[in-house]
Structure 1
Amino acid sequence: MKLFVFDLDFTLWDAGGTWCDATNPPYYWSDGVLLDQSNSEMELYPDVIPVLEELKRNNRKIAAASRTFEPSWAQDLLHLFDIDKYFDLKEIYPSSKIQHFSKIKKHFGMAYSEMVFFDDEHRNIHEVRKLGVEAVFVADGLKKEDVLRYL
């Protein structure tokens, strides 16, 4: 695959057991732990950075597709986790994944068949598969072996 697309909440990170738009920013670091104002821990899944680095080493494009109601909060987490730099495009706003992928396709000029998508919600997996995108269900956070088999 040429393009790897990732959902954010419960795919790349756990925002204190909920979605990032249900957290209480601003976020802050304390003793190496990222917290919100309610002291809920924001945790990047362990395989995320190694996966993103491997994709970049292999000259793959990376995009985010998230339907959050608080795009700026998701952007804050991307920045604070220091993974913003890996993404070539971010479609982060409340909308259908169909709209996200339409914009991704237009931006990169790639066929849906050249994309692979990782998400923790079955409804998104089914919706995106109908476009012709390879869609992979993520349970309990992104795993390196699930992603790198598409290189």
Structure 2
Amino acid sequence: MKLFVFDLDFTLWDAGGTWCDATNPPYYWSDGALLDQSNNEIELYPDVIPVLEKLKMKNRKIAAASRTFEPGWAQDLLHLFDIDKYFDLKEIYPSSKIQHFSKIKKHFGFEYSDMVFFDDESRNINEVRKLGVESVFIEEGIRKEDVYRYL
């Protein structure tokens, strides 16, 4: 059984064409859109909730691994999009993905070979792949077919 690990920026959401640590909180909802103080829209990719719901339905463990410089802002977005409830562990801080995965491995006791990681940055994919983690490059947000093949 696989442990599913997701990056946040440009994997689960698009923070107005940038990373969440380059936005201007506090965030607020207006006419169904989540905006920052500069009126930039932050959008969850369409398949995120169906993917997370299906993983939970299948009793899979889910972790977040994000190297953002503003962990509190990322946590705010997880809460505002109402998806924080799906994550069994969140490693969100400025550091190498190697450190994130070391903590994830220690927390769950999964081998790296029993993890699958989704990220939009090839440097992270390459770094984590060297650990033995199945790593999937995401181009324009997570899609069901990217994830479901690992169920």
TM-score by length of 2: 0.99
Alignment of 1:65-84 (within 5 A): 65-84=65-84
Partner of 1:43: 43
Per-residue CA deviation, residues 98-122 of structure 1 (Å, 9 max, x unaligned), is 0000000000011000000000000
Give the Cα–Cα distance (whole angstroms) in 2 for the partners of residues 110 and 147 of structure 1. 18
Partner of 1:62: 62
Secondary structure class of the residue paired with 2:62: strand
Partner of 2:96: 96
Partner of 1:138: 138
Give the Cα–Cα distance (whole angstroms) in 2 for the partners of residues 32 and 75 of structure 1. 20
Partner of 2:114: 114
- Structure 1's unaligned 5+ residue stretches are none
Matched AA of 1:16: G
Partner of 1:13: 13
Secondary structure class of the residue paired with 2:135: strand
Partner of 1:28: 28
Secondary structure class of the residue paired with 1:18: coil
Give the Cα–Cα distance (whole angstroms) in 2 for the partners of residues 31 and 101 of structure 1. 38
Between the aligned residues of both structures, percent identity stands at 87
Give the Cα–Cα distance (whole angstroms) in 1 for the partners of residues 10 and 93 of structure 2. 16
Give the Cα–Cα distance (whole angstroms) in 2 for the partners of residues 111 and 23 of structure 1. 35
Q: Report how many aligned residue pairs link the two structures.
A: 151
Give the Cα–Cα distance (whole angstroms) in 1 for the partners of residues 150 and 45 of structure 2. 19
- Structure 2's unaligned 5+ residue stretches are none
Secondary structure class of the residue paired with 2:14: strand
Give the Cα–Cα distance (whole angstroms) in 2 for the partners of residues 140 and 86 of structure 1. 21
Once superposed, what is the RMSD of the aligned Cα atoms? 0.4
Give the Cα–Cα distance (whole angstroms) in 2 for the partners of residues 101 and 129 of structure 1. 11
Give the Cα–Cα distance (whole angstroms) in 1 for the partners of residues 26 and 146 of structure 2. 32
Compute the displacement of 1:2 (Å).
Answer: 2.2
